[in-house]
Amino acid sequence: MRFISTRGRAPSLSFTDTVLTGLATDGGLYVPESLPEFSAEEIRAMAGLDYRELAFRIIQPFVGDDLSDDELRDILERSYRHFRHSAVAPLVQTDTNEWILELFHGPTLAFKDFALQFLGQLFDHLLKKRGERVVVMGATSGDTGSAAIEGCRHCDNIDIFILHPHNRVSEVQRRQMTGVLSDNVFNIALDGSFDDCQNMVKASFADQSFLPDGRRLVAVNSINWARIMAQIVYYFYAAVNLGAPDKMVNFSVPTGNFGDIFAGYLARQMGLPIDQLVIATNANDILHRCISDNDHSPRPLVHSLSPSMDIMVSSNFERLLFDLYDRDGAAVAELLADRSAPMQLDDRVLAKAREVFYSYRVDDQRTVETIRRVFEESEYLLDPHTAIGVEAARKVRKSTEQPMVCLSTAHPAKFPDAVARALPTREIPLPAHMQDLFQREERMKVLPNDLAGVQRFMAEALG
Ligand SMILES: *Cc1c(COP(=O)(O)O)cnc(C)c1O
């Protein structure tokens, strides 16, 4: 399969080249030229499959001839081997036809492991085949960094540099990154904000001349198509376990960069009968305002109890726009180029989005109340991101006759502050494999907010 840019002016790429790049040269994001579609009969046959086998069926059409069936199966086997629940993505019921899809059983306790364990294995395989060694560089406000490091730490052909804002990630999040002492892992604590980190990564991708000869940068954030692709799988997995294709299923997704929920949209395009996709936001509600009022004006960033959703510009929204504008790259480029005024969607486009997308905003206080209420109702403990999804689902779902699946994006132990506010007397222990997290030796480099200095550090480490 070939992959094309959302802005229509970059060359099309193979699956392998798409995975091993960053943005397209025209500034767009790569998407498949066409989507595979599954018939009702094919979807019915997915019920009861092991997670890895289901992943194989969903992902294989995108990969085409770039990997043999055995190679892909082997990569998937390695990707989900370190999940601590044999169902990989188990469903738990919390109310009448309300289900929690637990996506936090991977090594770093957040759903990002689904894509980044896979991406690490995929990189390693493709790079060995090519005999190439690359440099992964990424910025994180918390969860992406640790999941990327866990995904790449055992990869022979990767050196990974993760920038995080010094003293501005939680201790659990920091230790999950800095406690990995592998020779190919470099944590940079930048004296600056998350945006400063991200700007440095962007500038480094744009001009890679600071790298030693023969090395190049590869992206691990959700602009990388392989991350979105890996996330399509659990929508199918949950839906067939709840009666699809003979029943409609709905999903509520705590949303930041729009990667996770966009995977749900793709699952629907590929034939899964989804009625409602709920965009659940915290106080940083630009996507909610966009869907409800066509208001795409930026507002100052608020630091919330759900930090992984504290995002102003959702990069993957561009992939949706490309689809809504009938895959017209020039139209998308024009829409995004005019920075003089906030983006305005055509009425026709907005109406199309509203056929499937619903949205709701949940502030910190309601988040805490939801954690408490759900615990009182069912003794189920939600993390703050998941709580936002549950509350939004309860507010916008049309009926309880169809299943509503709330994606649980993190384990509550990862965000103890929010949980302590809801249930002050309750301890939430870290899972067994992380019990020693606070005793682990840490390694990181604190650097000033200076691009040349960061690049010099990287060049020396690679030299
Ligand atoms: C990354 C993240 C999100 C947001 O996912 P997007 O794909 O960026 O929309 C939600 N919850 C948690 C816990 C996360 O780590």
Please, what are the domains in the chain? 73-108+225-422 (3.40.50.1100)
| pLDDT value of residue 132 | 95
| pLDDT value of residue 452 | 97
Handedness of CA 148, 153, 159, 160 (dihedral sign): positive
- Which ligand 1 atom minimizes the distance to the CA of 143? 15
Q: Whose CA is nearest to atom 11 of ligand 1?
A: 409
Whole-number Cα distances in Å, 144 to 35, 45, 138, 308, 321: 27, 34, 9, 9, 24
Contacts of 334 (CB under 8 A, 6+ apart): none
Average pLDDT rounded to a whole number, residues 346-368: 97
| pLDDT value of residue 378 | 96
Q: Which of 32-46, 141-155, 300-314, 395-409 has the lowest mean pLDDT?
A: 300-314
Q: Are strands 404-408 and 249-254 parallel, antiparallel or unpaired?
A: parallel
Angle at which helix 329-337 crosses helix 317-324, to 10 degrees, equals: 130
Q: Examine the pLDDT at 340 and tell me if it is beyond 90.
A: no
Query: For 265-314, what is each residue's pLDDT tens digit?
Result: 999 999 999 999 999 999 999 999 999 999 999 899 898 999 999 888 88
| pLDDT value of residue 153 | 96
Ligand 1 pocket check for 257: Cβ under 6 Å? yes
- Which ligand 1 atom minimizes the distance to the CA of 383? 13
Mean pLDDT, rounded, of the chain: 95
Query: For 370-425, what is each residue's pLDDT tens digit?
Result: 999 999 999 999 999 999 999 999 999 999 999 999 999 999 999 989 999 999 98
**Ramachandran sector of residue 258 (left: φ over 0; alpha: ψ -120 to 50; beta: rest):** left
Number of neighbours of residue 303 by Cβ within 10 angstroms = 12
- Which ligand 1 atom minimizes the distance to the CA of 222? 7
Q: Whose CA is nearest to atom 2 of ligand 1?
A: 308
| pLDDT value of residue 102 | 98
Q: What is the DSSP letter of 282?
A: -
| pLDDT value of residue 125 | 97
Ligand 1 pocket check for 259: Cβ under 6 Å? yes
Ligand 1 pocket check for 112: Cβ under 6 Å? yes
Q: Examine the pLDDT at 90 and tell me if it is beyond 90.
A: yes
pTM of the model: 0.97
What is the whole-number distance in angstroms between the Cα of residue 75 and the centre of ligand 1? 24
Ligand 1 pocket check for 279: Cβ under 6 Å? no
| pLDDT value of residue 168 | 87
What is the phi/psi pair of residue 153, to 5°?
-60, -30
- Which ligand 1 atom minimizes the distance to the CA of 386? 11
| pLDDT value of residue 312 | 82
Ligand 1 pocket check for 187: Cβ under 6 Å? no
Q: Examine the pLDDT at 186 and tell me if it is beyond 90.
A: yes
| Side-chain-facing half-sphere of 104: CA atoms under 13 Å | 23
Ligand 1 pocket check for 414: Cβ under 6 Å? no
Per the DSSP assignment, residues forming a β-bridge with 99 are 93, 405
Query: For 189-236, what is each residue's pLDDT tens digit?
Result: 999 988 899 899 999 999 999 999 999 999 999 899 999 999 999 999
Residue of 428, 118, 144 whose CA lies nearest to 310:
144
Residue of 232, 245, 237 whose CA lies nearest to 88:
237
Q: Which residues are catalytic?
A: 112
Q: Examine the pLDDT at 339 and tell me if it is beyond 80.
A: no
How far is residue 329's CA from residue 3's CA, in Å, rounded to a whole number? 13
